[in-house]
């Protein structure tokens, strides 16, 4: 998939996730095969740009290109200014959030709530595209609710306004994260526009990735929750798409190496206190599907220092590699 001057290869993209796709996680996913990793959303309101959280979100030092930054807001001029600010700060792609159903976002009339107001969507998209030289991408849901699936209208607005690529999550805003994603609307969007379309929603395995690409005809896949705790999903999907063969699951020793590296990056990026806290979330996801999951989470949640968290994690994976935990 081509977005402006950037070739996105493999066409498997880490979805923006607030509280998840920080720089350490984006770097990890890119290293493990993601063709592109979109930042957490950055609020378009300049009054929020100087908080510690915002400054951490705007740190792109050492990030492989293209650096994609998502902005969220409701006011065209404010979003245009936020786009300019982020480009000056290293963004090589600007992504507009019209996909997020989170209350915090929708209460101020942004995220997927915007889909309800097509003229406003057109004004926002045009303002942002006109504001910056870099390609602008858009992320949407299939519509406002099941009676109002207007993704096709929005896609045409996006294309006419110069949007460089469109990601569609196969749920409406009212669906939140419930039920299963549907791909028919994504198929219709792909058939209606010439700009690249990314299919998003519930892609968790290489086989499902192939299926979604086949049924939608989309140019790329966007993966969110499937990458939580499993950042190697990108290389697994990329390999399967390229060869039709499944890679073996990573061995505990490799998982440990990836995990320890991730923890160290989190401590370095956030400092020890915050890093340890954020790491708990990722460790929980890593252990999610394992029978010994509960015990591991308890152990790791007890750790208050980086040293203890690293030691308990190393011990856990050493025991896992030795087969000691399988009998437990
Ligand atoms: C924890 C979490 C945070 C999210 N934050 C954002 C966000 O900041 N911007 C956005 O456009 N979508 C956000 N999303 C939606 C995802 O990008 C994605 O569209 C959705 O999770 C469906 O894809 P999946 O089934 O692969 O997870 C978030 C999703 C989750 C689970």
Helix (H, G, I), strand (E, B) or coil at 126: helix
Tens digits of residue pLDDT in 155-210: 999 999 999 999 999 999 989 999 999 999 999 999 999 999 999 999 999 999 99
Q: Where does the pLDDT of residue 328 fall: very low under 50, low under 70, confident under 90, or very high at 90 and above?
A: very low
| Tokens 């750790």 sit on residue | 303
DSSP symbol at 292: T
Residue-wise DSSP of 170-233: EEETTTTT-S----HHHHHHHHH-SS-EEEESS--SHHHHHHHHHHH--SEEEESGGGTT-TTH
Give me 199's structure tokens: 């299919």
The whole-number average pLDDT for the span 299-314 is 91
**The ligand 1 atom nearest the CA atom of 203:** 26
Gap between the Cα atoms of 18 and 240, Å rounded:
28
Query: Going by C-beta distance under 8 Å and a sequence separation of 6 or more, which residues neighbour residue 208?
Result: 202
173 lines ligand 1 (CB under 6 A): no
Do residues 251 and 321 touch, judged by C-beta distance below 8 A?
yes
All domains of the chain, ordered by start, with CATH?
2-243 (3.20.20.70), 252-321 (1.10.1200)
Nearest CA to ligand 1 atom 21: 224
**Quick one: which atom of ligand 1 is closest to the CA of 99?**
11
CB of 22 closer than 6 angstroms to any ligand 1 atom:
no
Taking CA atoms, 131 is separated from 19, 73, 136, 266, in Å, by 27, 15, 10, 33
- What pLDDT is recorded for position 327? 40
pLDDT for res 103: 59
Q: So which residues are the catalytic ones?
A: 100
Asked whether 70 lines ligand 1 (CB < 6 A), one says: yes
Is the pTM above the cut of 0.85? yes
Ligand 1 near 283 CB (within 6 A): no
Q: What is the DSSP letter of 40?
A: E
| Cα 137 to ligand 1 centre (Å) | 15
Sign of the Cα pseudo-torsion (138, 135, 15, 81, in order):
negative
The span from the CA of 97 to the CA of 73, in Å, is 8
Per-residue pLDDT reduced to its tens digit, 51-106: 888 888 889 999 999 999 999 999 999 999 999 999 999 999 999 999 877 655 55
């Amino acid at each position: 998939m081509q977005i402006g001057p950037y070739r996105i290869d493999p066409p498997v993209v880490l979805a923006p996730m607030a509280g998840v796709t920080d720089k350490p996680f984006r770097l990890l996913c890119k290293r493990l095969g993601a063709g592109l990793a979109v930042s957490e959303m950055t609020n378009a309101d300049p009054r929020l740009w100087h908080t510690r959280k915002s400054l951490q979100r705007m740190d792109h030092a050492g990030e492989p290109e293209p650096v994609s930054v998502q902005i969220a807001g409701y006011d065209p001029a404010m979003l245009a200014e936020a786009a300019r600010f982020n480009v000056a700060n290293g963004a090589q792609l600007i992504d507009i959030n019209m996909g997020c159903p989170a209350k915090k976002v929708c209460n101020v009339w942004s995220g997927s709530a915007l889909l309800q107001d097509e003229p406003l969507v057109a004004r926002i998209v045009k303002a942002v595209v006109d504001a910056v030289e870099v390609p602008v991408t858009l992320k949407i849901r299939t519509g406002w609710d099941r009676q109002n699936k207007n993704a096709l209208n929005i896609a045409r607005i996006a294309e006419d306004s110069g949007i460089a690529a469109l990601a569609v999550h196969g749920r409406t805003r009212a669906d939140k994260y419930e039920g299963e994603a549907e791909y028919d609307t994504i198929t219709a969007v792909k058939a209606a526009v010439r700009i690249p379309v990314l299919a998003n929603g519930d892609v968790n395995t290489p086989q499902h990735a192939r299926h979604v690409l086949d049924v939608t005809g989309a140019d790329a896949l966007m993966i969110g929750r499937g990458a939580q705790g499993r950042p190697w999903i990108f290389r697994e999907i990329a390999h399967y798409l390229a060869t039709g063969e499944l890679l073996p699951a990573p061995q505990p020793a490799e998982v440990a190496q990836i995990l320890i590296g991730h923890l160290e990056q989190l401590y370095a990026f956030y400092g020890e206190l915050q890093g340890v806290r954020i790491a708990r979330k990722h460790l929980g996801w890593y252990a999610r599907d394992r029978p010994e999951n509960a015990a591991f989470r308890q152990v790791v949640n007890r750790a208050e220092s980086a040293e203890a968290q690293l030691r308990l994690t190393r011990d856990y994976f050493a025991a896992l590699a030795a087969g000691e935990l399988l009998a437990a």
